[in-house]
A and B are shown apart, each in its own frame.
Chain A
Amino acid sequence: TQTVSQSDAHVTVFEGDSVELRCNYSYGGSIYLSWYIQHHGHGLQFLLKYYSGNPVVQGVNGFEAEFSKSDSSFHLRKASVHWSDSAVYFCAVRKASSGSWQLIFGSGTQLTVMP
């Protein structure tokens, strides 16, 4: 069974702080991971992805994520957050399905950036 766990439902930080949003996965096949952001009332937007190579991947707007096989994790980080980063963040893992692929999403982490 493939699962994605985002243990923090809510994270609150101040503008300019650093932040780490946690994601742990359980999957027996090749690991394809991604992060998405959802601003209130909008659809999800792709942030970044990892399949192989450098375990630290860079995304848009200063976001990066680090893959760890030993910890089964793919945590998202940003060094200095802005109020516009307030949103819900979803981690996802790709799984094989009926000769195709589909994403399994975590339950999301609501990030609130205080002024």
Chain B
Amino acid sequence: EAAVTQSPRSKVAVTGGKVTLSCHQTNNHDYMYWYRQDTGHGLRLIHYSYVADSTEKGDIPDGYKASRPSQENFSLILELASLSQTAVYFCASSDDWGAYEQYFGPGTRLTVL
């Protein structure tokens, strides 16, 4: 069974609209991450969290918010979606000391029109 799941798997949003991407993990991991991947590029960290009810900014947090209501769930929120936020978004989890061993979800393809 997949240990990190994401929903939706794909989404088309309008510019200026609100988008929420959800992630659920059953690994019992404390750390969760949101990355974006642009075509032909590596992953860039948006937000991460190491405990419920707390989130931290990654390398490219502008235009994104995150929410960690429980150990298992981590959401990424685009309050005002923009064209530049069209990308594939990945959620990942890791244990306390295994941040370099992360487990990824299948990704969400977001298209902003």
Contacts and interface: CB of A to CB of B under 8 A. Distances in A.
User: Which bracket fits the contact residues of A?
Assistant: 20 to 34
A42 B107 contact: yes
B90 A43 contact: yes
Interface string A94-107: 10011011110111
A105 B103 CA distance: 14
Contacts of A44: 43, 90, 92, 102, 104
Residue of B45, B48, B100 contacting most chain A CB atoms (<10 Å): B100
Interface string B65-87: 00000000000000000000000
A29 B31 CA distance: 21
A105 B44 CA distance: 7
Given A43-B90, A90-B42, A102 B104 contact: no
Nearest to A107: B42
Given A42-B107, A43-B106, A100-B56, A108 B101 contact: no
29 contacts: A32-B100, A33-B100, A34-B101, A43-B4, A43-B104, A43-B105, A44-B43, A44-B90, A44-B102, A45-B104, A46-B102, A46-B103, A49-B100, A49-B101, A92-B100, A94-B100, A97-B58, A100-B99, A101-B31, A101-B99, A102-B48, A102-B99, A103-B43, A103-B45, A103-B100, A106-B42, A107-B40, A107-B42, A108-B41
